[in-house]
Every structure is written in C-alpha cells, then in structure tokens.
Amino acid sequence: MAVSGFEGFEKRLELHFFGDDPAIFPLGMRKLEFESLEQVLEAVQCTVVSAVGNSYFDAYVLSESSLFVYPTKIIIKTCGTTQLLKSILPLIQYAHHLGLTLSSCRYTRGSFIFPKSQPFPHTSFKDEVTYLQDTIPSNLCFRKASIMPSKSSSHSWHVFTANDSAHTLPHLPYHHDNELLFTMEICMTELDPILARKFFRPPEDGKSGDSAGKEMTELTGINEINPDALICDFAFDPCGYSMNGMDGDWYSTIHVTPEDGFSYASFECVGSVNDNIAHVLRKVVKIFRPGTMSISTTCNGFGNDMWTQMASAVEPLGMKCRSFAMDQFPAAGTVVFQTFSGRRKSV
C-alpha cells in the first residue's frame, strides 16, 4: 500500500428541498445558474468537466466525481481531498432564493485509504458530524449518525441523516408503477491490475477527455451494464475515468482510480427491487475484479431475499460475503452494509 496517493473513496451528500408554491417544482433547483453551481463547487474545490441533461435532471461529471441536480434534490459525490460539506450552506442559500427550503440531508462515505490527507471538516467522522450538526437548520430535528462496521477495521460505512418532521422518507426514490426502489453504492479496492490498465490513456494520444472516455466505456463493457442509459463519460490524463448514466429519472455513476497500490472503483445506481440486480452486480464485478468490495443499499420496507440475491450473484465470481450490518434511520429508511472479498477467478 502506498504511503500516500489519490483518495478514491468518495464523500456523498444528498439534499432534498420543498416549497409551498407548486409553480416551483417543474424546474426547482434546475433553475440555478451554472455560475452559481460553479461557486458551490469552488467551495468544495472541484470543477465541471462534462455535462448532460434530460427532462428529469441534469448530470455533471466533475474533476472529482459527480453532481446530479433534480428539481427538489441534489446529489454531490466527490473524491480526493475535496471539502464536500462546504457545499451545504451555499446550496441552502441558493435554494432559498428559488423559494425552496431544505427538508432532509444524508451524508455517507466509506473508510478513506489516506485519512490523514483529508482537510477539515473531513479529518474524522466526529468532525464531519459536528460540522453537519452546526450547519444544517434546526427544523431538521430527526438526526442520527452511525458507523456501520465490518469484520475488517479498514472497511466501515459512515452515515449521517437529518430530516424535518413534516417530510418523511424523502431520500428514497419515487415509486415507479408501485415498484419499491433502492439506492446502491458499491466501493471496490485492489482492482485486477490488467483490467485497471484499461483506465490509463496512451501518452500524448491527442484525444479529448470526452472521446477517450467514450473509448474506455466501450472497451471495458461499462456500456453493457445498462444498455438503455444515456452515458456521459470522461477519461482523465494520464489515468482515471468517470461516467454518469441517465435512464429516465434514474441515474448511475462510475468513478475509477486505477493506480496500483491504491486502486479504487465505485458504482452507484438507483434500481427496483423487482429488477435483475444480479445482472448489474455481475457486470460490475467482471469489469473490475476487485480483491475487496462493499455494497451499501438504502431502501424502505424490503426483505432479506435481496441481500442473499446479492451474495449469490457474486459468489460464483470468487467474491464471498464476509460481513453484514443493518441500521435504521429515523424518517430516512434502512441501510444495509455488506462486505465481500475472496480469491479472483477467471470470469
């Protein structure tokens, strides 16, 4: 393991808003000027490198991960030494100008590979929680912070949620035709070195980040995870890759730090409990063949069969479920955290 390197593990922030004027909702936070978003990202210390939108939301690939803007929801996911939590206050202020008020906040992350390199307030989970408690408004009175453990001291899942009393379970995606939806966050380390090389660009290839990213998407099979998704991808120089996928109002995102010694990849998506989750998981594991992997799933009101489906999907690929933790968050659903590791097999 390298003494220091690029921090792949992301910090993730999800904010939900509400307003009394129904005329706000068709666009809501999507009305924010691009210059306003740039100012928010400047506080976080990252920039936009590519963007795409549809009739439901806007998706931005950042220099460090991704930003999704819906009418009443914003998701920011940033890696490296970004200061993600510093986006909260400006976003609250910009929302206020649009007639919107913060109704819920969720912050999640894994365990940093290089924790001592993180700037305040990300110096520890305790510091992050203190900062969150001091920053979010008092109407978000249902609050909980939790570190969900695993059998490995280097893998735990950190969750903070805060919700107001009037709006319950805002974090969970809307039901589609009575289907119950979930958010799944996968973090992978110790990537197969041969597969990780696909996320390096040839020296002086003369291509733009967009065109090189499109090549990586097709070369690695990322475009086959969800063939229906519109993909906005970007390849960094000399290495690294990010993509956002749009499928109606569902998003997906992948970020890759391929350097040997601290290799990392993440995959996040929204899905239905009735969908073929096994197909998605198997595709992701085959693309990266990680030595270790964690899956965090957020949902409300579904049974244990989903967790066993996940474990049985990746077990034939050499990944064994090593730990399982579940925690409930007031007015914010249930989070399940699973970790996997095992010897690599030919897939």
Report the CATH number at residue 18: 3.60.90.10
In-domain check, residue 4:
no
| Higher-confidence position of 167 and 96 | 96
Using pLDDT thresholds of 50, 70 and 90, give the confidence band for residue 235.
Answer: very high
Q: Which residue in 270, 324, 271, 274 sits closest to 295, CA to CA? A: 324
The question of whether 79 is a catalytic residue gets the answer yes
DSSP characters for 270-295?
EEETTS-HHHHHHHHHHHH--SEEEE
Q: Tens digits of per-residue pLDDT, 317-329?
A: 999 999 999 999 9
For residues 304 and 294, is the Cβ–Cβ distance under 8 A? no
In-domain check, residue 42:
yes
Element (H, E) at 129: helix 125-135
Instruction: Say how many C-beta atoms besides its own lie within 10 A of residue 23's C-beta.
Output: 8
In-domain check, residue 152:
yes
The question of whether 255 is a catalytic residue gets the answer yes
Any idea which of 116-130, 145-159, 204-218, 315-329 has the lowest mean pLDDT?
Answer: 145-159
The question of whether 176 is a catalytic residue gets the answer no
Record the tokens describing residue 216, joined without a space.
């990586």
The count of domains in the chain is 1
In-domain check, residue 1:
no
Q: CA 338, CA 204: separation in Å to the nearest integer?
A: 41
Range of 294's domain?
Answer: 11-170+178-342
Whole-structure pTM value: 0.92
Q: Which residues are annotated as a binding site for substrate?
A: 6, 64, 236, 259
Q: Which of 65, 104, 263, 341 is catalytic?
A: 65
In-domain check, residue 3:
no
In-domain check, residue 158:
yes
In-domain check, residue 347:
no
In-domain check, residue 24:
yes
For residue 69, pLDDT over 80 is answered with: yes
4 contact partners, CB below 8 Å, separation of at least 6: 114, 117
Q: CA 265, CA 301: separation in Å to the nearest integer?
A: 29
